[in-house]
Amino acid sequence: MTLLAGSKLRHTMAENWTAILTVANKALLTKIPGQTEGGVSRYAQDRAMRIVQSVERLAREGGARGEGVWRVDLVKVAALYAGVAKNRVGEGGGGGGGGAVRNPDDGIFDDAAELAADQLKELLPAADLELLAKILREHRQRETQLSEAKLLADAVTLEEFGLVGLWNLWRQFHAAGKTLEQFVKLWKAQHDYSYWESRLRDGFHFETSRRTAKERLGYMRGIYERLQQEQLGEDVGGNPMGRF
């Protein structure tokens, strides 16, 4: 790709970004059952925009060109429609960067690619829509060679780590009607079976992403233990020496 061509593409995307956001946001809002008009959940929209921000920062901090990522603009659009895909089937599901074996959830990204092609046909050229679909379909494949798909996968997987990961997981548990005890038990199982060490090792394509995830985990030390203490009521009464 020449510098002139890249400049023209960025200019076109900058002009269309607001329109693309408007279209995608309609599919990212979820009506809350039982609520009056205007009662919508913005969870999917919030998550998708956070992933867009992660894409931008990873591309800038990690040196996207050095990683072979030329179309960061399309990765941002793919992040929106990956959010649409998840929103259409509920709030469950894991992050990207999985194995090459096709997962049943992969079908939702096929649907999202088709939806994007239909909704954005007046805003993006056919070649861009084709690459957008490829990014969406391949970002869950660990062995993908498409750098743009790798960037999206890393941005999505970062949503599992740190306080943001805690927020997302708790949101899923709450939506499924699960208990705090079940939440704590899952954390203990993840800790006992070195789940997070495995995710750090195998869940990312780029070192910048892996380093960020590792730092987020570091900030989580003690939080789950404290949550378990409060869940069991072990903190009630506080320090006996501090009682009145």
Q: Which residue has the higher pLDDT, 229 or 243?
A: 229
Alpha-helical (H) ranges within the chain are 3-28, 43-62, 72-89, 106-119, 126-138, 147-157, 162-175, 180-192, 195-202, 207-219, 223-232
Q: Is the pLDDT of residue 118 over 70?
A: yes
Nearest of 29, 81, 23, 26 to residue 52 by alpha carbon: 81
CA–CA gap between residue 66 and residue 73 (Å, rounded)? 16
Q: Is the pLDDT of residue 243 over 50?
A: no
Residue 40's DSSP bridge partners are: 31
Q: Specify the pLDDT at position 94.
A: 45
For 77: left if phi > 0, alpha if psi spans -120 to 50, otherwise beta; the answer is alpha
Q: Specify the pLDDT at position 45.
A: 93
Q: Is the pLDDT of residue 27 over 60?
A: yes
- Give the predicted TM-score (pTM) of the model: 0.83
CA–CA gap between residue 240 and residue 146 (Å, rounded)? 59
Q: Specify the pLDDT at position 34.
A: 58
Q: Specify the pLDDT at position 163.
A: 93
Distances (CA, A) of 240 to 222, 229, 230, 232: 22, 16, 17, 18
Q: Specify the pLDDT at position 216.
A: 95
Nearest of 226, 230, 204, 228 to residue 215 by alpha carbon: 204
Mean pLDDT, the chain, as a whole number? 84
Q: Which residue has the higher pLDDT, 14 or 230?
A: 230
Q: Specify the pLDDT at position 201.
A: 93
Instruction: Provide, rounded to the nearest whole percent, the portion of the chain with pLDDT above 70.
Output: 79
Q: Identity (one letter) of the amino acid at 184? A: V
Q: Which residue has the higher pLDDT, 95 or 205?
A: 205
**5-9, 138-142, 171-175, 235-239: which has the minimum mean pLDDT?**
5-9
Distances (CA, A) of 82 to 55, 125, 133, 204, 224: 13, 20, 10, 17, 29
Mind listing the pLDDT tens digit for each residue in 138-179?
999 999 999 999 999 999 999 999 999 999 999 889 989 999
- Residue-range domain boundaries for the chain: 1-233
Report the residue count for the chain: 244
pLDDT band at 58 (very low <50, low <70, confident <90, very high): very high
Q: Specify the pLDDT at position 92.
A: 45
CA–CA gap between residue 131 and residue 141 (Å, rounded)? 15
pLDDT band at 35 (very low <50, low <70, confident <90, very high): low
Of 85-99, 193-207, 230-244, which one has max mean pLDDT? Answer: 193-207
Q: Which CATH class is domain 1-233?
A: mainly alpha
Q: Specify the pLDDT at position 90.
A: 64
* CB of 64 closer than 8 Å to CB of 211: no
Q: Is the pLDDT of residue 137 over 90?
A: yes
Residue whose pair of structure tokens reads 């659009």 in the numeric block: 77
pLDDT band at 33 (very low <50, low <70, confident <90, very high): low
Nearest of 109, 116, 30 to residue 77 by alpha carbon: 116
* CB of 82 closer than 8 Å to CB of 51: yes
Per-position DSSP letters for 144-166, written without gaps between them: ---HHHHHHHHHHHGGGSHHHHH
Which residues touch 160 (CB under 8 Å, ≥6 apart)?
94, 95, 168, 169, 199, 203
